[in-house]
Amino acid sequence: MPDTRAVSSPAEGAPGAAPPPQTVAPKTPVEDVLLAYVDQLAGDRAGHRAICFHLSRLNRAHRQEKHLQIAANLLKGAVDQFSGRLFVLRSADIVIVCKGITARAIDQTVDALRYLFNDDKLAKQGGEAQFYSVFDLEIGYPQFSSLIQQIRDKEAKQLAKANREPAKPVERRLNELLDALSGTDLSHMVRRQTVWELHPEKKPQPKFDELFVSIERLSSVISPDVSLAKDRHLFQYLTRWLDRHVLTRLAWEQFGNARPVSFNINVATLHTPEFLKFDNERAAGWRGRTILEIQLGDLWADLAAYLAIADLVKQRGYLRCLDGITHQAFPCINFQHLKIDLVKLIWDDALLQQDEAATRTLLQAIRDCGTGRIVLTRCGRAEAVKFGQALGIHLFQGWHLDRLSGTPPS
User: For position 127, which CATH number holds?
Assistant: 3.30.70
pLDDT at site 302: 74
Which of 7 and 80 is assigned the larger pLDDT?
Answer: 80
**Quick check: helix, strand or coil at residue 357?**
helix
Residue 410 lies in a domain: no
From 130, 149, 164, the end of a domain falls on 164
pLDDT at site 16: 37
Grade residue 273 by pLDDT with cuts at 50, 70 and 90. Answer: confident
From 164, 196, 225, the end of a domain falls on 164
Residue 7 lies in a domain: no
Q: Which of 28-37, 188-197, 357-366 has the lowest mean pLDDT?
A: 28-37
Residue 260 lies in a domain: yes
Q: Which of 16-20, 203-207, 217-221, 231-235 has the lowest mean pLDDT?
A: 16-20
Give the Å distances, CA to CA, from 72 to 6, 75, 298, 395: 9, 5, 15, 34
pLDDT at site 409: 57
159/176 same-domain check: no
- H helices within 42-136, ranges in order? 65-81, 103-116, 121-125
Q: Is the pLDDT of residue 256 over 60?
A: no
CA 1 – CA 264 distance, rounded (Å): 11
CA 33 – CA 27 distance, rounded (Å): 10
Grade residue 293 by pLDDT with cuts at 50, 70 and 90. Answer: very high
Residue 126 lies in a domain: yes
pLDDT at site 206: 93
Residue 380 lies in a domain: yes
352/228 same-domain check: yes
CA 229 – CA 226 distance, rounded (Å): 9
236/383 same-domain check: yes
H/E run at residue 342: strand 342-346
**Quick check: helix, strand or coil at residue 137?**
helix
Mean pLDDT of 92-109: 91
pLDDT at site 159: 63
From 118, 143, 164, the end of a domain falls on 164
User: What CATH code is carried by the domain that includes residue 334?
Assistant: 3.20.20.450
Mean pLDDT of 265-290: 80
375/302 same-domain check: yes
pLDDT at site 233: 62
Q: What is the DSSP string of 264-323?
A: E--TGGGGSHHHHHHHHHS-GGGTT-EEEEEEHHHHHHTHHHHHHHHHHHHHTTEEEEEE
324/209 same-domain check: yes
pTM of the model: 0.60
pLDDT at site 4: 30
Residue 23 lies in a domain: no
Which of 200 and 323 is assigned the larger pLDDT?
Answer: 323
Mean pLDDT of 59-87: 84
Mean pLDDT of 371-384: 94
Give the Å distances, CA to CA, from 91 to 98, 126, 138, 274: 21, 19, 26, 39
Residue 6 lies in a domain: no
Q: Is the pLDDT of residue 194 over 50?
A: yes
Q: Is the pLDDT of residue 92 over 60?
A: yes
Mean pLDDT of 133-155: 84
pLDDT tens digit string along 310-337?
998 998 889 999 998 999 889 888 888 8
308/375 same-domain check: yes
Q: What total of structural domains would you count in the chain?
A: 2
Q: CA neighbours within 13 Å on the CB side: how many for 341?
A: 17
Q: What is the mean pLDDT of the chain?
A: 79
Mean pLDDT of 47-59: 91
pLDDT tens digit string along 175-186?
666 666 666 666
**Quick check: helix, strand or coil at residue 99?**
strand
**Quick check: helix, strand or coil at residue 129?**
coil
| ∠ CA 7-212-197, rounded to 5° | 95
CB atoms < 10 A from the CB of 130, how many? 12
Q: Is the pLDDT of residue 379 over 90?
A: yes
197/102 same-domain check: no
pLDDT at site 10: 31
Mean pLDDT of 251-278: 78
Q: Is the pLDDT of residue 61 over 60?
A: yes
H/E run at residue 201: none
Q: Which of 112-126, 258-272, 279-293 has the lowest mean pLDDT?
A: 279-293
Q: Which of 209-223, 244-258, 366-380 has the lowest mean pLDDT?
A: 244-258
pLDDT at site 298: 82
Which of 359 and 232 is assigned the larger pLDDT?
Answer: 359
Q: Which of 70-74, 104-108, 371-375 has the lowest mean pLDDT?
A: 70-74
**Quick check: helix, strand or coil at residue 325?**
strand
Q: CA neighbours within 13 Å on the CB side: how many for 117?
A: 35
| ∠ CA 397-399-401, rounded to 5° | 60
Burial 60-69 (b: 16+ CB within 10 A, else e): eebbbbbbbb
Question: Which residues, other chains included, contact 4 with Cβ-Cβ below 8 Å and sequence gap of 6+?
Answer: 66, 236, 266, 267, 268, 298, 301, 302, 305
Whether 117 contacts 75, CB under 8 Å: no
pLDDT at site 165: 54
Residue 4 lies in a domain: no
Q: Which domain holds residue 97?
A: 30-164
Q: Is the pLDDT of residue 174 over 70?
A: no
